[in-house]
Amino acid sequence: MTRLLLRRLRDLLVILVVVGTMMFFVIRLIPGDPALAILGPTARPADVAALRSAMGLDGSLWEQYLSWAGHVLHGDFGSSITYHQPVLGVVLEHIPPTLTLAVLSSVISFLLSVAVTSWYAVSPRNPLARALDRLSALGMAIPDFWISLVLVLVFSVTLRWLPSSGYHSLFTDPVQALPALVLPLVVLVIGQTALFVLTLRESMLGELPLAYLRTARAKGLSESRVMLRHVLPNALMPLITQLGSNFAMLVGGIVIIESIFVIPGLGHLLMGAVSTRDFPLIQGVTLFVALLFVLVNLLVDLSYAAIDPKVRVS
């Protein structure tokens, strides 16, 4: 376990260096001058040059990179051009909405996928179970933005049951927060549950021909006990891998959902930073997402040992 943690820490440092370096140079390819975007097209050249110097954009590209890397090593990610605040503070301020959506949707989707797939495995001839299993393919095919717009049209515009936008902290004001979270959560849960059901079903089908199940049936175990006690735990490994990867992608990529429902999360923040050429903020958000991605994968690896005894032995 100690060797695993050390390897992951090494991978974390390498990934952060690679992602930070690539993002630094890639975002410089975005057309436009950040100083001119702030001051406007009617700004005087002298004012633009002064602002570029204040932002550290007057040196060569390598000089800018070395200056930025040196500040990052000391924990200074720079100041946001748009918010006029330290990047770290801006990122931390926008993390709670995104994490709330990612955690709740991942947990709900995981539980629903396990329930639906287990029900289908135990009762394959049940019409409702078969219908839910078949609907998973449909859930994968429908775009999130289309589901979002339909839900807003039906439940917010027509029926006026739920708000179409806004966000309140679930911990400080749960009464107002829950109605605003329903629609974005439903959109995320539909897509994730469909993906998880397909992943778990294929994994369970791969376990069915194995010899240990014939032994379990020969001992007189019922089919439901064979499925739930033996097949399901062994089939969870690919689902947990998918859950970890999907969670990390949600944190950095719920741009469409946050834009439609006006949720001030990381995706919404990143879109605004790109449109305003806020280079320090783009780099800060990207590094945070990369850090979270590695940490989530570490938790996934550690969870393998809790689920599969073979991993603990190895």
CATH number at residue 107: 1.10.3720.10
**What's the 3-state SS for 98-133?**
HHHHHHHHHHHHHHHHHHHHHHHHHCCCCHHHHHHH
Cα within 13 Å of Cα(87), Cβ side: 23
DSSP codes, 281-296: HHHHHHHHHHHHHHHH
Residue 309's pLDDT is what? Answer: 61
CB-based contact 169:177 (threshold 8 Å) = yes
Residue 312's pLDDT is what? Answer: 57
* Rg over CA atoms, the chain: 24
Residue 278's pLDDT is what? Answer: 84
105 assigned to some structural domain: yes
Task: Report how far residue 207's alpha carbon sits from residue 213's, in angstroms, rounded to the nearest whole number.
Answer: 8
**Which amino acid is located at 242 in the chain?**
Q
Task: Report how far residue 84's alpha carbon sits from residue 147's, in angstroms, rounded to the nearest whole number.
Answer: 36
Longest CA pairwise span in the chain (Å): 86
pLDDT in tens for each of the 314 residues of the chain? 677 677 777 877 888 888 888 888 888 777 777 777 777 777 788 888 887 777 777 777 888 888 888 888 888 888 888 888 899 999 999 888 988 999 999 999 999 988 888 887 777 777 776 777 677 778 888 888 899 999 999 999 998 899 988 888 888 888 888 898 999 999 999 989 888 988 888 888 787 777 777 888 788 877 777 777 778 878 888 888 888 888 877 876 677 888 888 888 888 888 888 887 888 888 888 888 888 888 887 787 777 766 666 655 55
Task: Report how far residue 200's alpha carbon sits from residue 115's, in angstroms, rounded to the nearest whole number.
Answer: 11
Residue 36's pLDDT is what? Answer: 75
Task: Report how far residue 161's alpha carbon sits from residue 59's, in angstroms, rounded to the nearest whole number.
Answer: 55
**Tally of structural domains, the chain:** 1
Supply the DSSP symbol for 209.
T
* Consecutive H or E run containing 40: none
- Residues β-bridged to residue 79: 86
User: Dihedral sign, CA of 240, 246, 252, 255?
Assistant: negative
Which one, of 265, 270, 253, 260, lies nearest residue 163 by Cα?
260
Predicted TM-score (pTM) above 0.85: no
Task: Show the tokens assigned to 211.
Answer: 């010899």
Task: Show the tokens assigned to 307.
Answer: 């689920």
CA angle 131, 133, 137 (to 5 degrees): 105
CB-based contact 129:120 (threshold 8 Å) = yes
227 assigned to some structural domain: yes
Structural domain including 144 reads 95-276
221 assigned to some structural domain: yes
Task: Report how far residue 65's alpha carbon sits from residue 127's, in angstroms, rounded to the nearest whole number.
Answer: 60
Task: Show the tokens assigned to 237.
Answer: 């490994």
Burial 92-124 (b: 16+ CB within 10 A, else e): eebbbbbbbbbebbbebbbebbbebbbbbbbee
281 assigned to some structural domain: no
Residue 308's pLDDT is what? Answer: 64
165 assigned to some structural domain: yes
The burial of 136, by beta-carbon neighbours within 10 Å (0-12 exposed, 13-18 middle, 19 or more buried), is given as buried
134 assigned to some structural domain: yes
Provide the angle, in degrees to the nearest 10, between the axes of the packed helices 174-207 and 127-141. 110
Task: Show the tokens assigned to 93.
Answer: 């301020």
Residue 249's pLDDT is what? Answer: 77
306 assigned to some structural domain: no
Residue 252's pLDDT is what? Answer: 65
13 assigned to some structural domain: no
